[in-house]
Amino acid sequence: MGDKTTPVRAKGGSKVCLLLFLVPGGGHFHGLRHVRALVPVAVREGDDAVLRCLFDLNGDALYSVKWYKGSRELFRYMPREIPSVKVFPVNGLYDLVIEKSKSNGTHLFLKKVTINLSGRYSCEVSADAPSFRTAFASGDMNIVVVPSSFPVIQGMKPRYKLGDTLEVQCVSKSSRPAANLSWSLNGKMLDSEYVKQTNVKKDSENGLETSISTLMLVLHHHHFVGGRIKVKCTASVHNIYWKTTENSAEEEKPKDAEPSTYRSKDAVQPSNVPKKDDDSESMASRADHSHRLSHVVFERLKNTGFRIPSIVQLICLYILRYNIIS
């Protein structure tokens, strides 16, 4: 069905013509819609950034796409003009570098972004005939300076006893914004109730920030796994930086009681154990006694006229002395 003009009688008897655009689809409006600005939330300083402007012309022709930082226009794309891409200098943004060859109606390519480029970016899309509509969408971009090193855990001892207080600090230096610090013990995240305090210190010269978090926890038996505790600190900045440091300590157990080596002077010695001082004297007395006894035995045998070979005498003497001594 084509366009129609319907006469309408207005008040006062005059005639006006009301132009009705009757479009297919039951009278629904067709034209520019669904404009979206896809701006990265965080970009590492020195990296490139790509900002996207998406839209649905829905039958319209594209007239222009413009990008703004705040209220200042920095880029324009007009497909019917030559050249189609224009870049505008912005006061205070001397480090803004737009790569024209990669920028167009849907993409804005920024090279090696700096902290100064953080802020709100908006794209404005204008349609040509027949709607001549204009739509606007925005997004915030943060240029991030990440820490140059891992977070550091300070104040941890090599050993802890049950009931001791674990008090340690985690420090993440020189970032922007300040790093978010979180704690875990033996692989389990700790609640904020154990975090005594978190401070942020800003360097007045370069504007970079240092995060400091203090953990305080009274140690109980369940905190020691296999006789050790493992403390982990994680530093994160948006979704582009995530570093972890882990320290461990041993459980210090009470020393076992050592057996006493003290012996009373009045302690009773076993009856079958000779006293040290009397040992030599007892051995000499027994040897003398056996010698005299054997002499008496052999003299009596000799008086009876019984002759005993010398070797036998020696054997008998040995046996006699052995039995007495042992």
Q: How many domains does the chain have?
A: 3
Residues 112, 158, single domain; the answer is no
pLDDT in tens, 143-153: 999 999 999 99
pTM here is 0.64
Residues 74, 171, single domain; the answer is no
Residues 217 and 139: beta-carbon distance below 8 Å: no
pLDDT at 131: 82
Per-residue DSSP letters for 195-213?
EEEEEEEE-TTT--EEEEE
Residues 80, 119, single domain; the answer is yes
pLDDT at 55: 96
In a domain, 271, yes or no: no
Q: Is the pLDDT of residue 226 over 70?
A: yes
pLDDT at 10: 38
Q: Is the pLDDT of residue 253 over 90?
A: no
Exposed, middle or buried: residue 108 (CB in 10 Å: 0-12, 13-18, 19+)? buried
DSSP reduced 3-state for 226? coil
How many Cβ atoms from other residues are within 10 Å of residue 273's Cβ?
A: 8
Residues 68, 42, single domain; the answer is yes
Q: Of 90, 123, 144, which residue is a domain's last?
A: 144
Exposed, middle or buried: residue 305 (CB in 10 Å: 0-12, 13-18, 19+)? exposed
Residues 100, 58, single domain; the answer is yes
In a domain, 211, yes or no: yes
Q: Residue 98 and residue 301: Cα distance in Å, rounded?
A: 135
In a domain, 259, yes or no: no
Summarize the confidence of residues 241-246 as an average pLDDT. 96
47: its two tokens: 């990296």
Range of the domain at 316: 286-325
pLDDT in tens, 7-47: 333 343 333 333 333 334 444 557 899 999 999 999 999 99
Q: Is the pLDDT of residue 274 over 70?
A: no
**51-55, Cβ contacts within 8 angstroms, sequence gap of 24 or more:** 51/107, 51/108, 51/110, 51/121, 51/123, 51/139, 51/141, 52/106, 52/107, 52/108, 53/105, 53/106, 53/107, 53/108, 53/123, 53/125, 53/137, 54/106, 55/125, 55/135
Residues 184 and 232: beta-carbon distance below 8 Å: yes
In a domain, 180, yes or no: yes
Residues 37, 136, single domain; the answer is yes
pLDDT at 26: 41
In total, the chain counts a number of residues equal to 326
- In 3D, which of 40, 33, 44 has the Cα closest to residue 108? 40
Residues 83, 186, single domain; the answer is no
Residues 119, 160, single domain; the answer is no
Residues 107, 171, single domain; the answer is no
In a domain, 137, yes or no: yes
In a domain, 258, yes or no: no
pLDDT class of 297 with cuts at 50, 70, 90:
low
Q: Is the pLDDT of residue 163 over 90?
A: yes
In a domain, 18, yes or no: no
pLDDT class of 6 with cuts at 50, 70, 90:
very low
Residues 165, 224, single domain; the answer is yes
Cα three-residue angle 274-279-280, rounded to 5 degrees? 170
Q: Of 92, 111, 144, which residue is a domain's last?
A: 144
pLDDT in tens, 96-125: 999 999 999 999 999 999 999 999 999 999
CATH at residue 171: 2.60.40.10
Residues 134, 171, single domain; the answer is no
Residues 130, 171, single domain; the answer is no
Q: Is the pLDDT of residue 221 over 80?
A: yes
Strand order across the beta sheet in which 165-175 lies: 152-154, 165-175, 209-218, 195-202
In a domain, 201, yes or no: yes
pLDDT in tens, 65-81: 999 999 999 999 999 99
Per-residue DSSP letters for 279-311?
HHHHHHHHHHHHHHHHHHHHHHHHHTT----HH
Q: Residue 97 and residue 111: Cα distance in Å, rounded?
A: 5
